[in-house]
Structures are given as structure tokens and as C-alpha cells.
Amino acid sequence: MQRDLTEQDWHHIEAAVVLDPSGVSFARRSTRAKRAEVDVLVADGCPLVTYSYGAGELRWHDDEDARVRWSQERQHLTSGDPKPSRDHTVWTAGRYEDHDGNVLAVVTGHC
């Protein structure tokens, strides 16, 4: 499933918080996750949020949609300083967790 997040969600993510569809709050625990870490998270069923301010995108992806979207963007992830490209969005990844330790992967686009 994929869903666009609300205008209010834009305010939350700017404060390093994401609310899942049921309203559970996830807070950023790390930045600059590597491809291998996100590979494992998504393969294990972790939801993925794509956030690109410049492209106006803030979307929640889970289940098969998370795996498909990650496979599309994986090659453009950097764990270093993002150097925007004219050809594609460059992504950085962060690990977010809720109070029970459930994990969410958030990829941030730099264009």
C-alpha cells in the first residue's frame, strides 16, 4: 500500500517524527543508514517513507509497495554527503523507531 501523507505530516517530519497510518509516532534514531541496512529492514517487512521536499513528495509505503519502491531508489542512496544530480534524486536514509522498538525506514530525497 502507498499513501500520501497529510500536510500535518510535513510538519512532523521536519521535526524528525513520522506518524504511521494508525497514528503511532516514530522518532528518528539514526541518519545515513547504508543500503545493506535498509535492504534488511525492507526485506523484513519494515515500512518505507519517501520524503523529498523539493519534489513535494511525502509517502508511506508498506508491504510489496515498500519493496518495489526501495528497489527503484536503492541505487541512488548515499550514506555520505548527498550530491544532487540532474538525472535523478539522490537519497539518504534514516532509521526511525516507535516506543516499542518497531522500525521505519525513511529515505530523504536531495534534488
pLDDT at 1 over 70: no
Q: pLDDT per residue over 20-68, tens digit each?
A: 988 999 999 988 899 999 999 999 999 999 999 888 889 999 999 999 9
Please report, for the chain, the start and end positions of each structural domain, with discontinuous segments joined by +.
2-110
Q: What is the pTM of this model?
A: 0.89
* Three-class SS state of 38: helix
For residue 35, give the nearest of 7, 77, 72, 63 by alpha carbon.
77
pLDDT in tens, 79-103: 988 887 888 899 999 999 999 999 9
